[in-house]
Chains A and B, each alone.
Chain A
Amino acid sequence: MGQLIVRRLIFMIFMLIGLMAIVFAISNIAPGDPARLAAGPDATNEMVERLRVERGLDKPIVTRFAVYLSNLAAGDLGTSLHTRRAVVDDLARYFPATLELVLFSIAFAVLLGVPLGMAGAAFQNKIPDHSIRFLAVSGVALPMFWLGLMLQWYLSLELDLFPLGGRLGIMTPRPETVTGMLTVDSLLSGNFGTFQEAVWHLVLPSLALSLPALASIIRVNRAEMLETLNKDYILNARAQGIGPLRIVTAYALKNAILPTLAMIGLRFGWMLGGTVLVEGVFDYPGVGLYATKAAVSSDFDPIIAVTLVLGASFMLVNLLIDLTYALLDPRVRSQI
């Protein structure tokens, strides 16, 4: 088991280097002149050239990539043009916020999606099933940025139930930073008022971000449950007189959850991607908003760094999912 994890982590490093090579290559075939962009609109040609040499932009791309990698190993991801800070510092500030949002959303999607999928299968082709399926097909088709806007319009602007955006109210005291996730930090410092408010700020963005994931989890779980409920071992369990509740929630679910897990892993990645939309709508200061602002101003160092961090998170989550798989399926467990 331990060996497997180490092997996977080493493999991951190679994948990430490959990923960076691709992003690096793409950002360098781009038509714009990064030196001129970095120097700003008022810079003279001389200043641009000086900056070009300073930043090593006059060297061939392979050299620059090697320099980038060695800087990365030293913990330097370059500088952001639009925040004028080191990218590492920006990430330390924004990434925990995004992680908090995504974890909230995935928890919401799983805790709601799995039971709904089960219910859909248990009541196949009856009224509850029809409404659950409607939710499932709608969820993946709704543009999450638009859903976010509509939630914002109705629930915060019209009904004033939720805050418009951000992570905390302006006047709310910030808890001491430990993890960077406000809900965790506020609990650690025992500040329940702040905790409540942080959760309050997370509700609408999480809802918008989790809907597509919720929908796919319902879909997969429902389909897998239906398939599992037709299996021979379920017939045997029924022949023993075991009750329907136990059959659905234990005998079938534990088999059906395995493919659902794969979907959860996949959807986690889509959620990471979705943060660029939802964070924009709710002005939520995370890496998604950071990446969008960088992309609009052709600010490459942050873009590459965000790609790297989100790619790494996605790979880590998939590793976690695979380990959970092994935990739940004795057949897989005995093979590793």
Chain B
Amino acid sequence: MQPLLSIRDLSLEFNTFDGTYQAIDRVSLELNPGEALGLVGETGCGKSVLTRAAFGLVPTPPARITSGSVLFNGREILGLSPREQRAMRGRDVALIFQDPMTFINPVFKVGTQLVDAIRAQQLGKVTRKEARDIALNMLDKVQLPNPVRQFESYPHQLSGGMRQRVLIAMALTAEPKLLIADEPTTALDVTIQAQILDLIERLVQDMGISLIMISHDLGVVSQVCSRVAVMYAGQIVEDAPVAQIFDSPAHPYTKGLLAAVPHPFRPEDRLEGIPGSLPNLYNPHSGCRFAERCPLAINRCVEARVAQTEVAPQHMVACIACEGAQIDA
């Protein structure tokens, strides 16, 4: 089966006053049609930048893609012209973002923004009237109460959950092949979070859309996704089915991550933090970026790139310790 999205060896850096910031380091990631992948990592580890850069949403400069390729449906999309990239966005790939408060334009009516988005996604082939019907239909699907009235409202008149529904409607009207949900529930109340997650899960399944769910919350990811990729400081350290990640994490970072989250069935367990802090990504060494905080680190960790190894079916880990362990076995 041809993967829907295939990111290979992608590296990206930002040129800033303090030097070159290597935000993404030789990341490879594949997503099959219909699959739901969770992308997990701490704030600032490059999750959002990775997905945005793949679809031309990171301004260059200051960013610069230094290596790698991104295949979408087998087609290289990194070198596309802005116009071609724009034609893909909304139609082939849609994004929803973290904070519905800031990602919706405050001075335009909800309806105007929906109609604009739909007309852009349909490449202007629908009239405003038709777009309005599509939009109202979609608002109904995302279970926005009283869609006709909300259509004429301004964003500040809607609650956070309602706005996120609007943004989901906006993203999904053109039935894209891939939805990238960038922490879609982080800014919402806990009660609303569950509703929105359910909604995304249901819509994605009904419409047969592949999903990349970006989150720093393993719980959210385990609810919606079948596979998880763990990112640390611009590198993917582990990539495995959800059950594997929880039951037998292989990378020391993943283990630390799990140890820092309360277990739903063993709340009495002591939580463990990871000592140290994120490494400086200005002129980093070329090895494993977790090495400085890793209890298993050896000299080789920082000397050269650590390749991903399959430690179990579909369970990839980038760690010398695990590599060695497998060879020993």
Report A's interface with B, CB cutoff 8 A. Answer: 231-244, 246, 250-251, 254-255, 328-331, 334
Contacts and interface: CB of A to CB of B under 8 A. Distances in A.
B103 A233 contact: yes
Contacts of A242: 90, 116-117, 120
A329 B106 CA distance: 8
B248 interface: no
A238 B108 CA distance: 16
Contact of B57 (A231, A235, A254, A255): A235
B175 interface: no
Contact of B157 (A244, A250, A334): A334
A327 B186 CA distance: 33
B105 A243 contact: no
B107 A239 contact: no
Interface residues of B, number: 31
Given A232-B97, A246-B116, A331-B156, A239 B104 contact: no
Contact of B86 (A241, A255, A328, A329): A241
Nearest to A328: B107
B117 A240 contact: yes
Nearest to B59: A230
A232 B99 contact: yes
B142 interface: no
A236 B167 contact: yes
B120 A232 contact: no
Contacts of A235: 57, 97, 103
Nearest to B116: A242
Contacts of A234: 105
Main secondary structure of the interface of A (DSSP, over half): helix
Given A251-B108, A334-B157, A240 B121 contact: yes
Nearest to B119: A242
B102 A233 contact: yes
B117 A330 contact: no
Contacts, number: 85
Given A240-B170, A241-B87, A242-B116, 7 more contacts: A237-B105, A238-B89, A240-B117, A240-B120, A240-B171, A241-B89, A242-B117
A240 to B, nearest CB: 4
B188 to A, nearest CB: 15
Contacts of B106: 233, 255, 329-331
A255 B170 contact: no
A330 B107 contact: yes
Interface of B: 55, 57, 82, 86-91, 94-95, 97, 99, 102-108, 113, 116-117, 120-121, 154, 156-157, 167, 170-171
B94 A331 contact: no
Given A240-B90, A241-B86, A334 B156 contact: yes
B120 A236 contact: no
Contacts of A254: 107-108
18 contacts: A232-B102, A233-B102, A233-B105, A233-B106, A236-B97, A239-B57, A239-B89, A239-B94, A239-B95, A240-B90, A240-B170, A241-B91, A241-B117, A242-B116, A243-B120, A330-B106, A330-B107, A334-B156
In the A-B complex, the 4 residue pairs with the smallest Cβ-Cβ separation, listed nearest first, are A241-B90, A240-B117, A330-B154, A232-B102
Contacts of B120: 240-243, 246
A151 B167 CA distance: 54
Contacts of A328: 107
A6 B209 CA distance: 57
B89 A331 contact: no
A329 to B, nearest CB: 6
A243 B103 CA distance: 17
Contacts of B167: 236
A232 B187 CA distance: 14
A16 to B, nearest CB: 34
A236 B57 CA distance: 10
Contact of A236 (B104, B121, B157): B104
A152 B226 CA distance: 76
Contacts of A243: 86, 120
Contacts of B95: 236, 239
Of the candidates A232, A236, A239, A255, the one having the most CB atoms from chain B within 10 angstroms of its own CB is A239
A236 B117 CA distance: 10
B58 to A, nearest CB: 10
Among A238, A251, A328, max chain B CB count under 10 A is at A238
B102 A231 contact: yes
A331 B154 contact: yes
Contact of A255 (B103, B107, B154): B107
Contacts of B86: 238, 241, 243-244
Contacts of A232: 97, 99, 102-103
Given A241-B91, A241-B120, A242-B117, A330 B105 contact: no
Contacts of A236: 95, 97, 103-105, 167, 170
A231 B88 CA distance: 22
A239 B90 contact: yes
Contacts of B108: 250-251, 254
Given A239-B95, A240-B117, A330-B154, A251 B89 contact: no
Contacts of A238: 57, 86, 89
A243 B94 CA distance: 15
B105 A255 contact: yes
Nearest to B157: A334
